[in-house]
Protein backbone atom coordinates (compact mmCIF):
# COMPACT_ATOMS: atom_id res chain seq x y z
CA UNK A 1 0.00 0.00 0.00
CA UNK A 2 1.42 3.40 -1.01
CA UNK A 3 0.50 5.91 1.71
CA UNK A 4 0.90 9.70 1.59
CA UNK A 5 0.93 11.22 5.07
CA UNK A 6 0.33 14.87 5.89
CA UNK A 7 -0.97 16.90 8.83
CA UNK A 8 -1.66 20.45 9.96
CA UNK A 9 0.47 20.63 13.09
CA UNK A 10 3.65 20.65 10.98
CA UNK A 11 6.30 18.09 10.13
CA UNK A 12 7.83 18.35 13.62
CA UNK A 13 4.65 17.45 15.49
CA UNK A 14 4.51 14.37 17.71
CA UNK A 15 1.28 13.11 16.13
CA UNK A 16 2.78 12.61 12.67
CA UNK A 17 5.72 10.67 14.16
CA UNK A 18 3.36 8.24 15.88
CA UNK A 19 1.29 7.87 12.71
CA UNK A 20 4.25 7.25 10.38
CA UNK A 21 5.79 4.71 12.75
CA UNK A 22 2.60 2.66 12.76
CA UNK A 23 1.85 2.98 9.03
CA UNK A 24 5.31 1.74 8.08
CA UNK A 25 4.07 -1.68 9.27
CA UNK A 26 1.46 -1.80 6.52
CA UNK A 27 2.90 0.07 3.54
CA UNK A 28 5.33 2.40 1.85
CA UNK A 29 4.99 5.82 3.52
CA UNK A 30 5.84 9.22 2.02
CA UNK A 31 5.50 12.27 4.26
CA UNK A 32 4.67 15.70 2.78
CA UNK A 33 3.77 18.04 5.62
CA UNK A 34 3.73 21.75 6.38
CA UNK A 35 7.02 23.28 7.53
CA UNK A 36 5.17 25.17 10.28
CA UNK A 37 1.99 24.70 12.27
CA UNK A 38 -1.15 25.34 10.21
CA UNK A 39 -3.94 24.76 12.73
CA UNK A 40 -7.30 26.19 11.62
CA UNK A 41 -5.89 26.68 8.12
CA UNK A 42 -9.16 25.38 6.71
CA UNK A 43 -8.99 24.52 3.03
CA UNK A 44 -6.70 27.42 2.16
CA UNK A 45 -4.22 26.95 -0.67
CA UNK A 46 -1.21 29.07 -1.62
CA UNK A 47 -1.52 30.89 -4.93
CA UNK A 48 0.16 34.26 -4.55
CA UNK A 49 3.55 33.26 -3.18
CA UNK A 50 5.78 30.47 -4.44
CA UNK A 51 6.19 27.25 -2.47
CA UNK A 52 9.49 25.70 -1.46
CA UNK A 53 10.11 22.04 -0.67
CA UNK A 54 12.84 20.95 1.73
CA UNK A 55 13.95 17.49 2.74
CA UNK A 56 13.39 16.89 6.43
CA UNK A 57 15.68 14.64 8.47
CA UNK A 58 15.23 13.19 11.95
CA UNK A 59 18.33 11.70 13.60
CA UNK A 60 20.16 11.98 10.27
CA UNK A 61 17.51 9.82 8.59
CA UNK A 62 15.24 11.12 5.80
CA UNK A 63 11.74 11.57 7.24
CA UNK A 64 9.85 13.39 4.48
CA UNK A 65 9.25 16.63 2.59
CA UNK A 66 8.42 19.91 4.32
CA UNK A 67 6.46 22.52 2.35
CA UNK A 68 6.12 26.19 3.36
CA UNK A 69 2.38 26.04 2.75
CA UNK A 70 -0.93 24.72 3.99
CA UNK A 71 -2.08 21.12 4.55
CA UNK A 72 -4.04 21.17 1.24
CA UNK A 73 -0.91 22.48 -0.56
CA UNK A 74 1.10 19.56 0.82
CA UNK A 75 -1.32 16.93 -0.47
CA UNK A 76 -1.61 18.59 -3.88
CA UNK A 77 2.18 18.97 -4.12
CA UNK A 78 2.73 15.40 -2.95
CA UNK A 79 0.37 13.82 -5.46
CA UNK A 80 1.15 16.12 -8.39
CA UNK A 81 4.91 16.66 -8.08
CA UNK A 82 6.67 14.59 -5.43
CA UNK A 83 5.24 11.06 -5.70
CA UNK A 84 6.05 9.02 -8.80
CA UNK A 85 2.75 7.12 -8.58
CA UNK A 86 -0.65 8.12 -7.20
CA UNK A 87 -0.91 6.90 -3.60
CA UNK A 88 -3.49 4.27 -2.62
CA UNK A 89 -4.53 6.38 0.34
CA UNK A 90 -3.80 9.72 2.03
CA UNK A 91 -3.80 9.90 5.83
CA UNK A 92 -3.72 13.26 7.59
CA UNK A 93 -2.83 13.58 11.27
CA UNK A 94 -2.63 12.66 14.03
CA UNK A 95 -4.01 16.08 14.95
CA UNK A 96 -3.67 17.67 18.37
CA UNK A 97 -7.29 18.45 19.17
CA UNK A 98 -10.76 17.30 18.13
CA UNK A 99 -12.00 17.85 14.59
CA UNK A 100 -15.58 16.90 15.35
CA UNK A 101 -18.77 18.94 14.81
CA UNK A 102 -18.10 22.53 13.66
CA UNK A 103 -14.32 22.03 13.89
CA UNK A 104 -14.52 20.07 10.63
CA UNK A 105 -15.04 23.41 8.86
CA UNK A 106 -11.91 25.08 10.27
CA UNK A 107 -9.65 22.05 10.22
CA UNK A 108 -6.46 21.91 8.18
CA UNK A 109 -6.19 18.19 8.99
CA UNK A 110 -9.57 17.46 7.43
CA UNK A 111 -8.84 19.76 4.48
CA UNK A 112 -5.65 17.85 3.64
CA UNK A 113 -7.72 14.67 3.41
CA UNK A 114 -10.43 16.51 1.48
CA UNK A 115 -7.88 17.70 -1.07
CA UNK A 116 -7.02 14.02 -1.63
CA UNK A 117 -10.72 13.17 -2.04
CA UNK A 118 -11.03 15.97 -4.63
CA UNK A 119 -8.13 14.31 -6.48
CA UNK A 120 -9.97 10.95 -6.39
CA UNK A 121 -7.64 9.44 -3.77
CA UNK A 122 -9.26 7.75 -0.72
CA UNK A 123 -8.41 9.65 2.45
CA UNK A 124 -8.61 9.61 6.23
CA UNK A 125 -8.23 12.54 8.64
CA UNK A 126 -7.41 11.50 12.20
CA UNK A 127 -7.39 13.57 15.38
CA UNK A 128 -7.11 13.07 19.12
CA UNK A 129 -9.43 15.15 21.29
CA UNK A 130 -7.00 17.09 23.46
CA UNK A 131 -4.90 20.06 22.34
CA UNK A 132 -2.01 18.49 24.22
CA UNK A 133 -2.82 14.79 23.76
CA UNK A 134 -1.22 12.17 25.98
CA UNK A 135 -2.38 9.15 23.98
CA UNK A 136 -1.58 8.73 20.29
CA UNK A 137 -1.34 4.92 20.39
CA UNK A 138 -5.00 4.08 19.82
CA UNK A 139 -5.31 6.64 17.00
CA UNK A 140 -2.17 5.34 15.26
CA UNK A 141 -3.31 1.72 15.38
CA UNK A 142 -6.84 2.63 14.30
CA UNK A 143 -5.42 4.54 11.29
CA UNK A 144 -3.58 1.47 10.06
CA UNK A 145 -6.57 -0.86 10.53
CA UNK A 146 -8.96 1.61 8.93
CA UNK A 147 -6.62 2.19 5.96
CA UNK A 148 -6.82 -1.52 5.21
CA UNK A 149 -10.61 -1.54 5.62
CA UNK A 150 -10.94 1.47 3.27
CA UNK A 151 -8.84 -0.23 0.60
CA UNK A 152 -10.90 -3.42 0.95
CA UNK A 153 -14.32 -1.73 0.89
CA UNK A 154 -13.77 1.36 -1.32
CA UNK A 155 -15.05 4.83 -0.56
CA UNK A 156 -17.32 6.72 -2.96
CA UNK A 157 -15.31 9.09 -5.17
CA UNK A 158 -15.09 12.43 -3.36
CA UNK A 159 -15.73 11.02 0.11
CA UNK A 160 -13.22 10.94 2.97
CA UNK A 161 -13.38 9.64 6.51
CA UNK A 162 -13.04 12.06 9.41
CA UNK A 163 -11.86 10.12 12.45
CA UNK A 164 -11.68 11.42 16.02
CA UNK A 165 -10.34 9.49 19.00
CA UNK A 166 -10.73 10.32 22.70
CA UNK A 167 -7.44 11.15 24.42
CA UNK A 168 -7.49 8.03 26.61
CA UNK A 169 -5.35 4.96 27.25
CA UNK A 170 -6.20 2.17 24.79
CA UNK A 171 -8.20 0.08 27.25
CA UNK A 172 -10.45 3.03 28.16
CA UNK A 173 -11.66 3.68 24.58
CA UNK A 174 -15.01 1.88 24.47
CA UNK A 175 -14.97 1.10 20.73
CA UNK A 176 -15.49 2.63 17.30
CA UNK A 177 -18.72 4.24 16.05
CA UNK A 178 -19.93 5.30 12.62
CA UNK A 179 -21.22 8.86 13.10
CA UNK A 180 -22.63 12.02 11.50
CA UNK A 181 -21.10 15.51 11.81
CA UNK A 182 -22.56 17.17 14.89
CA UNK A 183 -23.92 20.71 15.19
CA UNK A 184 -22.03 21.63 18.36
CA UNK A 185 -20.24 24.92 17.81
CA UNK A 186 -18.07 27.50 19.50
CA UNK A 187 -19.34 30.17 21.79
CA UNK A 188 -16.34 32.38 21.11
CA UNK A 189 -15.29 36.00 21.03
CA UNK A 190 -12.20 38.15 20.70
CA UNK A 191 -10.64 39.06 24.02
CA UNK A 192 -9.41 42.65 23.89
CA UNK A 193 -5.92 43.32 25.28
CA UNK A 194 -3.47 46.22 25.19
CA UNK A 195 0.12 45.75 24.02
CA UNK A 196 3.14 47.36 25.76
CA UNK A 197 2.85 50.29 23.31
CA UNK A 198 -0.73 51.12 24.24
CA UNK A 199 -2.39 49.60 21.17
CA UNK A 200 -5.34 47.19 21.27
CA UNK A 201 -5.11 43.64 19.99
CA UNK A 202 -7.51 40.69 20.03
CA UNK A 203 -7.19 36.97 20.81
CA UNK A 204 -9.86 34.47 19.81
CA UNK A 205 -11.11 32.52 22.81
CA UNK A 206 -14.20 30.61 23.86
CA UNK A 207 -15.66 27.20 24.50
CA UNK A 208 -17.44 24.51 22.49
CA UNK A 209 -21.16 24.45 23.24
CA UNK A 210 -22.45 20.89 23.07
CA UNK A 211 -25.65 21.21 21.03
CA UNK A 212 -25.95 17.59 19.93
CA UNK A 213 -27.96 14.91 21.65
CA UNK A 214 -28.15 11.91 19.32
CA UNK A 215 -25.71 9.08 20.05
CA UNK A 216 -24.75 8.88 16.36
CA UNK A 217 -23.25 12.41 16.27
CA UNK A 218 -19.44 12.59 16.29
CA UNK A 219 -19.31 14.89 19.32
CA UNK A 220 -21.55 12.65 21.42
CA UNK A 221 -19.62 9.49 20.48
CA UNK A 222 -16.44 11.19 21.72
CA UNK A 223 -18.11 12.39 24.90
CA UNK A 224 -19.10 8.75 25.49
CA UNK A 225 -15.44 7.68 25.04
CA UNK A 226 -15.92 6.10 21.61
CA UNK A 227 -13.71 6.73 18.59
CA UNK A 228 -15.81 8.32 15.82
CA UNK A 229 -15.70 7.78 12.04
CA UNK A 230 -17.70 10.23 9.91
CA UNK A 231 -17.89 10.02 6.11
CA UNK A 232 -17.80 13.56 4.67
CA UNK A 233 -17.77 14.95 1.13
CA UNK A 234 -17.17 18.20 -0.73
CA UNK A 235 -20.56 18.77 -2.34
CA UNK A 236 -21.90 21.55 -0.10
CA UNK A 237 -25.22 21.96 -1.92
CA UNK A 238 -28.13 22.19 0.49
CA UNK A 239 -30.58 20.05 -1.50
CA UNK A 240 -33.44 20.61 0.95
CA UNK A 241 -33.09 24.39 0.61
CA UNK A 242 -32.71 23.98 -3.16
CA UNK A 243 -36.19 22.40 -3.27
CA UNK A 244 -37.65 25.04 -0.93
CA UNK A 245 -36.22 27.86 -3.02
CA UNK A 246 -38.14 26.71 -6.08
CA UNK A 247 -41.10 28.47 -4.47
CA UNK A 248 -39.13 31.72 -4.02
CA UNK A 249 -39.91 34.28 -6.65
CA UNK A 250 -36.46 34.08 -8.26
CA UNK A 251 -37.81 35.73 -11.40
CA UNK A 252 -38.14 39.01 -9.52
CA UNK A 253 -34.35 39.10 -9.45
CA UNK A 254 -34.09 39.60 -13.19
CA UNK A 255 -32.51 42.96 -13.80
CA UNK A 256 -32.50 43.36 -17.53
CA UNK A 257 -36.07 42.62 -18.56
* Polymer length in residues for the chain: 257
The one segment of 11-19, 26-34, 86-94, 104-112 that binds its own copies by CB under 8 A: 104-112
Q: DSSP state, 103?
A: H
**Contact in structure between 211 and 183 (CB atoms under 8 Å):** yes
- Alpha-carbon span 19 to 57, nearest angstrom: 16
Q: How many residues bind its own copies (CB under 8 A)?
A: 91
Q: Which of 83, 183, 210, 211 binds its own copies (CB under 8 A)?
A: 183
Our CB check for its own copies shows the closer of 59 and 153 to be: 153
Build a one-symbol-per-residue string for 2-41: x at contacts with its own copies by CB under 8 A, - elsewhere. -----------------------------------x-xxx
Our CB check for its own copies shows the closer of 103 and 223 to be: 103
Binding residues for its own copies restricted to 195-214, rule: CB under 8 A: 199-204
How many CB atoms are located within 10 Å of the residue 223 CB? 18
CA distances from 203 to 8, 130, 132, 185, 197 (A): 21, 20, 19, 18, 17
Binding residues for its own copies restricted to 107-166, rule: CB under 8 A: 108, 111, 114, 118, 138, 141-142, 145-146, 149, 153, 155-156, 158-159
58 is a site residue for its own copies (CB under 8 A)? no
Strand partners, 30: 4
Q: DSSP state, 47?
A: -
171 is a site residue for its own copies (CB under 8 A)? yes
Amino acid sequence: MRILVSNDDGINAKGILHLVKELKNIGEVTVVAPLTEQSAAGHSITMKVPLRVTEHYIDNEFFGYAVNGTPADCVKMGIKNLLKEKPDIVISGINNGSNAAINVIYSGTVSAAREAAIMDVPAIAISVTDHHPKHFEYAAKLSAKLAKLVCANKLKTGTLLNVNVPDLPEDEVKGVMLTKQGRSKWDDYYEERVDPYGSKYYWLTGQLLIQDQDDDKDQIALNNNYASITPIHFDLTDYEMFEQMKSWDIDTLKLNV
